[in-house]
Amino acid sequence: MSRLLQKFAVILTLVAMVAGCTTAMPPEAVLSVPAAPQKYASIVVDARTGKQLFEMNSTSPRYPASLTKMMTLYMLFEALTAGRVKKDAGIPVSAYAASRPPSKLGLRPGERIDVDTAIRALTVKSANDVAAAVGEYLADSEEAFAAAMTARARQLGMRNTTFRNASGLPDDAQFTTARDMAVLGIALRNRFPQYYHYFSATDFMFRGKLVRGHNDMLGRVAGVDGIKTGYIRASGFNIVTSYSADGRRYVVVVMGANTARERNAHAESLLERALGSAPDRTRLVFQENP
């Protein structure tokens, strides 16, 4: 791993949690948890310092759903930065990739999609066919790509995450935690600032049609500039939200909500309380790997 990548490697240092919840925010922030206990998890982190402002169930295993595509994009951005891939390169679409269930662009076997469009399809549309095609393009197979994703996650400090595919489609062995997703959200901005703007997009043009996204926090909550939503039935509604304004940066993760509306409202509530809170002693520490 390069020294540049090492600079942004993440390890977690934890203090003891009391009753499974550490908070420096008002208790009313969690009075209305929008999910069943076995699905719900959340965390709020100051992205500048790594200080944790709030957490609940943040180290409990959860299904990532399409938050998985954040790591798929991390791997693609890494390949672009290293010069192994060009933005105008054509990614071939296999029969396997084309067969992935929605959400998808509806690509056909034998087609190619350029890297720039593929990135937009992942960040905006959360297209499963594109995710599989990217995985196969960067590795020998989606299975091999998922193994590489997991290995990179470990190097970033995501020690409780295992990937089994590039899309987040259901797999009982694919799991993560809210804390690990916060680590990934912060690492994406720190490691690839030149590509982070893709996570702010709300739509893009494809074959002459406007493709709209799923992240309703964008454009609705001042200061929110990304990054990714996700849903499968087993996970509930997930989101990683980035806030950057007035010299402050936060990452908010909510997992397992019953509806997208409840998820968004809860993430917004946690963010509002974070903006008025003082940080506690727990932090996510960014440092070089030994």
Query: Quick one: which H or E segment has residue 205?
Result: strand 203-206
Q: Which residues contact 27 (CB under 8 A, 6 or more apart)?
A: none
SS (H, E, C) 222-244: CCEEEEEEEEECCCEEEEEEEEE
What is the rounded CA–CA span in Å between residue 122 and residue 266?
24
Residues carrying an active site annotation: 66, 69, 126
Beta strands in 14-137 (DSSP E): 21-23, 41-46, 52-56, 90-92, 112-114
Q: Cα–Cα–Cα angle for 6, 224, 118, nearest 5°?
A: 65
Closest CA to 280 of 60, 59, 32, 49: 49
- Tokens representing 227? 């990054």
- Is 228 assigned a ligand-binding role in the annotation? yes
Cβ 164 vs Cβ 146: under 8 Å: yes
How far, in Å, CA of 155 to CA of 286, rounded?
12
H-helix or E-strand spanning residue 98: helix 95-98
| C-alpha dihedral sign at 220, 224, 226, 230 | negative
Contacts 24+ apart (CB under 8 A), 79-88: 79/138, 80/115, 80/195, 81/192, 85/115, 85/137, 85/138, 86/115, 87/114, 87/115, 87/116, 88/114, 88/115, 88/116
Binding residues: 228
Binding residues for substrate: 228
